Amino acid sequence: MIPYPNTRHQGLRARSTGGHSLRFQGGAPRYYEQTESGVWNGNRPSFTITCPQLANLSGSPTKNTNGVVEYECEDCKGFFPIKSDANGGWYITIDHITPWDVHIRDTAAPLPDGKISSQSARDAYNDIDNLKFLCNSCNSSKNGYSL
Ligand SMILES: [Zn+2]
Tell how far the Cα of 44 is from the centroid of ligand 1, in angstroms: 24
C-alpha 39 to ligand 1 mean position (Å): 36
Strands 68-72 and 79-81: antiparallel
| Res 6: pLDDT | 44
Residue 134 alpha carbon to ligand 1 centre in Å: 5
How far does the centroid of ligand 1 lie from the alpha carbon of residue 48, in Å? Answer: 23
Separation between Cα atoms, residue 139 and residue 144, nearest integer Å: 10
pLDDT tens digits, 55-109: 999 999 999 999 999 999 999 999 999 999 999 999 999 999 999 999 999 999 8
Cβ neighbour number for residue 22 with a 10 Å cutoff: 21
99-137 per-residue burial string, b: 16 or more CB within 10 A, e: under 16: bbbbbbbebbeeeeeebbbbebbbbbbbbeebbbbbbbb
Per-residue pLDDT reduced to its tens digit, 4-33: 444 444 344 444 444 444 444 444 444 444
If you measure from the C-alpha of residue 106 to the centroid of ligand 1, how many angstroms do you get, rounded to a whole number? 28
Mean pLDDT of 37-51: 92
Distance, CA 62 to ligand 1 centroid (Å)?
Answer: 14
Query: pLDDT value at position 132?
Result: 97
Ranges of each domain in the chain? 19-136
Give 79 Cα–ligand 1 centroid separation in angstroms.
8
